Amino acid sequence: MNRVLALLAALLLILPAHPALAEAEGYGTQTVMVYVVGSDLEGDGGLATGDISEMLRSGLDTQRMNVLVMTGGSKRWHTPLIASQKTSIFRIEGRRPEQVFEEPIRNMGDAETLSSFLHYGVENYPAESYGLVLWNHGGGPMVGFGVDDQHGGDGLTLMELSRAFEDSPFNRANRLEWLAFDACLMASLEVAALMAPYARFMVASEEVLPGKGFDYGFLGDASRGSLRGDDVSRAIIDRTYDMYASVGENDPYLNHAVTLSLLDLDRLEPVRDGANALFEGLERGLQMEVYSDIARRRDATKDYGRTATGNLYDLVDLAHLAENLSPVYPQQSARLAEALEGLVVYNRANVPSSAGLSIYSPFPTRGISSRHGAGCTRISASRRTTRPFWTPSGASSCPTAWPPGRAPTPRPSGATPAQANITCR
């Protein structure tokens, strides 16, 4: 018996750990890449410089975690270390960032720029796991991410983000451990659906995110933890939510709205199926001329991204929408609500009726787009119907609602454009 036990012990030492077991226990090392499109957030307010300073002060364990920052997209930087006419990569260590790469200025709204950064991180700083922060303005599924002030306000649509990941080391077989949008309005079902092949976990905000964005002190906390995507993501949410809560306690006039959620992208499919079932019921209901009842319920649903001119983003909380429609579609709404509990594994919000995931649900009082594709909503002007489409093969036809540089900047109702540069992403 002793010989058998000794043999089993030797086998345990020799055999490699099963990947699923390694993920459950955590990782030894991680490379975090932060893609900073400076734009007016840096040019007017120095917010990117401030966040880089937070990273340096975070106390991260550089033996376990490498943090790389790519900078570009702003006409002015509030530190002499970063040149506005260069695209640079810095490593966070010590008292000042170490420049490890520099090239002539590139368009941060180009998919190739993002994919090249991801390749650089993997090739030069290999690790057991990888995380990515996308830092800048966000406009939800119909606008996308980023505003490069050096290239006419160009940004990355969801289709361009998808293409960047397809051309990166994180294309399905080897996903990012976590992906975080330090940007407004990106916690939508459409965004999650297109990011699921490239990341295990996703952190984003349903509502506009205050201008200061994340509290990058999370890097220190995360670098001393398991480095699992869910644990790092919780550190992002807790650090950031608590920071704004503390600010609001000290000054009630600075009581920012915060809606941060963690999505387990492996649990996306039941939500996608549930949303499709609900919207199929909606379409049948509209054909039976119950539009006014459905419209009232949609209008009563929590929405996001309001500007001084009204809601130009048409994003609503998906769980609240299902709740409001439950008297009309009880089975479909219950199925969707149950699926959402699996997808949204952590949510901290001080905004009522914000359960962690939005959906593009246009309320047809404005112009109607006739083109549609994956992650967008098809709209029939004659019957005022809405129905989501998720087919990847149609992704290339998905339009953005505004041309580059013309998308509205989300801000709290009544805020001036100048205030918007500082108060939200």
Mean pLDDT by 10 residues, the chain (425 residues): 46 41 80 98 96 97 98 97 97 96 98 98 98 97 96 97 97 92 97 98 96 96 98 98 91 86 98 94 73 88 73 89 95 97 98 97 51 30 30 32 44 37 59
The answer to whether residue 204 is domain-embedded is yes
Q: What is the C-alpha separation between 300 and 397, in angstroms, rounded?
A: 31
Which pLDDT does position 395 carry in this prediction?
31
Residues 228, 369 within the same domain: no
Residues 284, 217 within the same domain: no
Cβ count near 380 (within 10 Å): 14
Final residue of a structural domain among 233, 267, 301:
267
Which pLDDT does position 23 carry in this prediction?
62
Residues 190, 299 within the same domain: no
Say which CATH number the domain at 140 has. 3.40.50.11970
Residues 243, 273 within the same domain: no
Q: What is the C-alpha separation between 395 and 389, in angstroms, rounded?
A: 10
Which pLDDT does position 250 carry in this prediction?
80
Residues 334, 222 within the same domain: no
Residues 6+ apart with CB under 8 A from 101: 88, 89, 120
The answer to whether residue 17 is domain-embedded is no
N- to C-terminal Cα separation, the chain: 65
Residues 304, 157 within the same domain: no
DSSP letter for each residue of 105-122: ---TTSHHHHHHHHHHHH
* Structural domain for 137, as ranges: 24-267
Residues 65, 95 within the same domain: yes
The answer to whether residue 422 is domain-embedded is no
The beta strand positions in 281-340, using DSSP E, are 303-307, 310-317
Which pLDDT does position 389 carry in this prediction?
33
Residues 54, 200 within the same domain: yes
Which pLDDT does position 228 carry in this prediction?
98
Residues 58, 107 within the same domain: yes
Residues 317, 259 within the same domain: no
Residues 314, 256 within the same domain: no
Outline where 26-68 has alpha helix (H): 39-45, 47-57
Which pLDDT does position 254 carry in this prediction?
78
Which pLDDT does position 3 carry in this prediction?
53
Joined together, the tokens standing for residue 355 give 């359960």
Reported pTM: 0.84
Residues 64, 112 within the same domain: yes
> How many structural domains compose the chain?
2
Residue that the structure tokens 């984003």 belong to:
204
